[in-house]
A = this chain, B = another copy of it.
Amino acid sequence: MTTTGQEKNRIMVPEPTLQRIPVYLQLLKRRFDNEGIYVSSSEIAELLDLKPIQVRKDLEYTNADGRPKLGYNARDLIKSIEKFLGYDNISDAFLVGCGNMGRALLGYSGFDSTGIKIRAAFDTNLNIIGTQVNGHKVFDVSKFSDLAKRLNVRIAILTVPFDKAQETADMMCEAGIKAIWNFAPVHLKVPDDVIVQNENMAVSLSVLVKKLDDSMKG
């Protein structure tokens, strides 16, 4: 996962911390989401193969309030993390491109724990416009701009083929989208105030292969 755009100068939370915090939330929601349960940084660290000091440092960024010997109240910790992650402010996303990757994301159950919802899906294929894909209604992409403005949606997921990616990104930016999660294996040119986060599957797999190659030589 790589990110480009305006946020470069804004974020003071280190990127590795930013990536671990949602993992804590996932774990807490799955295993500790009960009234009155306390959880320590050591317990969290143990379950995720991290060092307790690392967990404590990360959680400090969320202003979570741990108590000596007891640890964190799990419910309060969940709320602190959700607030930190901005789930109270932003929670709706649109997806464009209902091919394989789009369908996978529309059916992905892992988003449940995040509070983020894919509100609608869009495509240009007349055979699937108007149908439901994994529980999401598919609209004609020509309706994107109007619906994004009406529902004040700022996040878009781009899962179109790479040769349609730039024009789709342009359309999204014109519709007021401020954050694009890009699955097309192409570098998008966007205005400075739009954040692009790239999920380039070929890059990820390449990095893994390189690491394996090194470890087998090493």
A contact set with B: CB distance below 8 Å:
1-4, 6-7, 10-11, 16, 18-19, 21-23, 25-27, 47-49, 84-87, 89-91, 93, 99-101, 103-111, 113-114, 116, 134, 154-155, 161-162, 178-179, 181, 185, 187, 189, 193, 195, 197, 199-216, 218
Contacts and interface: CB of A to CB of B under 8 A. Distances in A.
A174 to B, nearest CB: 18
A197 B206 contact: no
A22 B212 contact: no
A162 to B, nearest CB: 7
Contacts of A87: 209
A208 B104 contact: no
A134 B49 CA distance: 36
Contact of A211 (B11, B23, B89, B193): B11
Given A111-B201, A204-B197, A216 B89 contact: yes
Q: How many copies of this chain?
A: 2
A110 B200 contact: yes
A116 B209 contact: yes
Contact of A179 (B4, B106, B212, B218): B212
Contacts of A18: 207, 210-211
Given A101-B104, A103-B103, 15 more contacts: A1-B207, A3-B211, A7-B211, A10-B218, A18-B210, A22-B206, A26-B185, A86-B214, A87-B209, A100-B103, A105-B201, A110-B201, A155-B208, A178-B216, A193-B215
